[in-house]
A and B are shown apart, each in its own frame.
Chain A
Amino acid sequence: MRIRYYFRLLRDIIRIRFAKVKEYPADFLTLFITVPAYLLVTLFFWHTIFSHVRVIAGWTLADVVLLQAFMQLGFVFWNIMYVFPEELSDMIISGELNTVLSKPANPILYMMLLYFDVVNGLWNIPEAAVYFIAAFWLGAQVSLTGLLAGTFLMLLGVTITSVIVFLIESLSFWFGRTNLLDLFYRAYFTVVDYPLAVFPLSVKFLLVMFLPVAFFTTGPALVSLRDYPLTGVVGLFGLSLLVLGVWFLAAWIAWKAGLKRYEAYGS
Chain B
Amino acid sequence: MLAENVITVDKLVKVFYSRKKEGVRSLFRKKEEIVAVNNVSFKVKKGEIFGYLGENGSGKTTTIKMLTGILTPTSGSARVLGFVPWERKNEYLKQIGVVFGVRSILFWDIPAIEAFRFYRDVYEVPPDDFEERLEYFDSILNVKKLAKKPVRKMSLGERMKCSLVAALIHYPKIVFLDEPTIGLDAVSKEAVRDFIRDFNKRHKLTVMLTTHDVLDVEALCTKVILLDKGRKIFQGTIPKLKKSYLGYKILYVEYNKIKNKPLLESVLRMGRLIGRGTNWVELEVKTDGRLPKTVAGLLKAVNVVDLDVKEPGLDRLLVKVYGEKK
Interface residues of B in 147-167 (CB under 8 A from A): 150
Interface residues of B in 79-123 (CB under 8 A from A): 86, 88, 90-91, 93-94, 96, 98, 100, 103, 105, 107, 109-111, 114, 117-118, 121-123
Beta-carbon contact of A20 and B72 below 8 Å: no
Beta-carbon contact of B103 and A105 below 8 Å: no
Beta-carbon contact of A105 and B90 below 8 Å: yes
Beta-carbon contact of A95 and B103 below 8 Å: yes
- Chain A nearest CB: distance from B308 CB in Å? 46
Using CB atoms and an 8 Å cutoff, list the residues of chain B in contact with chain A.
Answer: 16-17, 22, 62, 65, 68-72, 86, 88, 90-91, 93-94, 96, 98, 100, 103, 105, 107, 109-111, 114, 117-118, 121-124, 150
- Chain B nearest CB: distance from A124 CB in Å? 21
- Does A176 touch B at the CB level, under 8 Å? yes
- Chain B nearest CB: distance from A219 CB in Å? 37
Task: Determine the residue in chain B with the shortest Cβ distance to A176.
Answer: B22
Contact of A102 among B72, B93, B110, B121 (CB under 8 A): B93
Beta-carbon contact of B62 and A103 below 8 Å: no
A-B contact count (CB 8 A): 72
Beta-carbon contact of B17 and A265 below 8 Å: yes
- Chain A nearest CB: distance from B221 CB in Å? 23
> Contacts A16-B114, A104-B94, A263-B70 given: A8-B103 contact, CB under 8 Å?
no
CB neighbours (8 Å) of A20 from chain B are 107, 109-110
> Contacts A16-B114, A102-B98 given: A9-B22 contact, CB under 8 Å?
no
Main secondary structure of the interface of B (DSSP, over half): mixed
Beta-carbon contact of B70 and A104 below 8 Å: no
Beta-carbon contact of B17 and A15 below 8 Å: no
Using CB atoms and an 8 Å cutoff, list the residues of chain A in contact with chain B.
Answer: 5, 8-9, 12-13, 15-16, 19-20, 23-24, 95-96, 98-99, 101-105, 176, 263-266
Beta-carbon contact of B123 and A101 below 8 Å: no
Beta-carbon contact of B123 and A104 below 8 Å: yes
Beta-carbon contact of B16 and A266 below 8 Å: yes
Beta-carbon contact of B16 and A19 below 8 Å: no
- Chain A nearest CB: distance from B116 CB in Å? 10
- Chain A nearest CB: distance from B203 CB in Å? 19
> Contacts A24-B109, A102-B98 given: A15-B69 contact, CB under 8 Å?
no
The docked-state distance in angstroms from the alpha carbon of A264 to that of B74 is: 8
- Chain B nearest CB: distance from A161 CB in Å? 27
Contact of B110 among A5, A9, A19 (CB under 8 A): A19
The docked-state distance in angstroms from the alpha carbon of A103 to that of B96 is: 9
> Contacts A5-B124, A98-B100, A266-B65 given: A15-B114 contact, CB under 8 Å?
yes
CB neighbours (8 Å) of B111 from chain A are 19
